[in-house]
Amino acid sequence: MAAHGDGFSEVSMEDLMGQVENRQISTIVFIIAMQKEAQPLINRLRLVKDVNSPFPKEVTWVLFNGMYKDLNISIVCPGKDSTLGVDSVGTVPASLVTYASIQAMKPDLIINAGTAGGFKAKGASIADVYIVSSAAFHDRRIPVPGLDLYGVGMRKAFPTPNLIKELNLKVGRLSTGDSMDMPPHDKDSITANDATVKDMEGAAVVYVADIFKVPTILLKGVTDIVDGNRPTSEEFLENLAAVTAKLDESVTKVIDFINGKCLSDL
Ligand code: ADE
C-alpha cells in the first residue's frame, strides 16, 4: 500500500470499518431512560455506581459500570429531573447522555434498552421483547420538501442476523416521540413508519450514535398495547416491573451472545 508524504499509509474507510468489525467487542454502553428499567440489570451484572463519573457536575446522569465476562459494561441513565424528581425520559436527555457517553467511554457498541408500547395489529403482546430493525420519529412533522424526511429521521439499527436467529427474537420497527399518548397526527405518522413498537428515546439515541458511527442495537419490552382497550399509563404502570424483569432476561442473553464476538459475528 502506497504511503502518503505525511507518513500515514493509505487505508480506506472500508478497510478501517472492516478492522473495527473484526475486533472483539470489549466496551458496551447501555442507555436506559428509567432507573427502574435499569435496576435488574445493574443487580444481575453487579455493576457499581461510578461516584467519579466523567460527566459534568451539573448533570443528574447516573453511570454504573463493571466487567461482565470479557465485557466492560456501562449503564447510563439520565437520572431524576432536578425540579420534579422524576426520571428524565424523552429524546432530549437521551440525546445528551448518548453524546456524552460516546465521548467519555468510546463504546464499541451502544444498546438502548427499555420499555415500549406495542401494536397488537403488528403482532405485539405484553412482555414481548423486540429487537429493533429501524427507528424513526413520529412527532417531527415538517411539511417542507426535504425537511419532511429529516423530521421522520428513519435510521437502521446495527444488523444482527445471527443474534436474532440464535435467541429467536421478535424483530420490529420502532417509532419514537416525546409523548406517551397517541393523538391522531402521531398515529398517522406511526402507521407511515410501519412501527410495531413505540417509545420515547430510541430514534434519538440512534441519531446521535449514527453521527459518531457507533453501532447501536435497541431492545424494547412491551408494557402496554397502544391499539388495545386499556388506558396506556394504567397498563404501563401495572406491567412495568414484570416487563422490566423479562427485558433483563433478554438483555442478559444478548450480552452472553455478544461476549467474545466481533461486530461482524452479530
Ligand atoms: N413506553 C412504554 N409504553 C410507551 C408508550 N405507549 N409510548 C411511548 N413510550 C412508552
Q: Say which residue the cell 505525511 belongs to.
A: 6
256 is catalytic: no
Mean pLDDT of the residues in the chain: 93
Q: What is the pLDDT of residue 11?
A: 47
**Residue 1 in this model has a pLDDT that exceeds 50:** no
Q: Which of 37, 87, 108, 248 is catalytic?
A: 37
Model confidence at 5, pLDDT cuts 50, 70, 90, reads very low
Superfamily of domain 25-265 in the CATH hierarchy? Nucleoside phosphorylase domain (3.40.50.1580)
**What's the mean pLDDT in 6-30?**
67
Q: What is the pLDDT of residue 20?
A: 64
Q: How far apart are CA 243 and CA 222, in angstroms?
A: 7
Q: Does residue 236 line the site of ligand 1, with CB under 6 A?
A: yes
For residue 80, how many other CB atoms are within 10 A of its CB? 14
Helix-strand-coil percent breakdown of the chain, rounded to 5? 35, 25, 35
224 is catalytic: yes
**What's the mean pLDDT in 230-244?**
96
Q: Does residue 126 line the site of ligand 1, with CB under 6 A?
A: no
Q: What is the pLDDT of residue 18?
A: 62
Q: And the C-alpha cell for 59? A: 448533570
**217 to 65, 81, 122, 205: CA distances (angstroms):** 19, 26, 20, 10
Which residue's alpha carbon is nearest to atom 2 within ligand 1?
116
Q: What is the pLDDT of residue 21?
A: 74
Q: Does residue 223 line the site of ligand 1, with CB under 6 A?
A: yes
SS3 112: strand
* 72-96 pLDDT tens trace: 999 999 999 999 999 999 999 999 9
**128 to 114, 123, 169, 179, 205: CA distances (angstroms):** 12, 10, 9, 21, 21
Q: Does residue 232 line the site of ligand 1, with CB under 6 A?
A: yes
* 49-70 pLDDT tens trace: 999 999 999 999 999 999 999 9
SS3 19: helix
Q: How far apart are CA 174 and CA 31, in angstroms?
A: 16
* 177-211 pLDDT tens trace: 999 999 999 999 999 999 999 999 999 999 999 99
Question: ipTM of the assembly?
Answer: 0.99
Q: Does residue 124 line the site of ligand 1, with CB under 6 A?
A: no
Q: How far apart are CA 203 and CA 137, in angstroms?
A: 6
Q: Which of 87, 176, 180, 187 is the best mutation target for the ligand 1 pocket, counting ligand atoms within 8 Å of the beta carbon and taking the most? A: 180
Q: What is the pLDDT of residue 17?
A: 56
Measured in Å, how far apart are the chain's first and last C-alpha atoms? 30
Residue 137 burial class via C-beta count within 10 angstroms: exposed 0-12, middle 13-18, buried 19 and up: buried
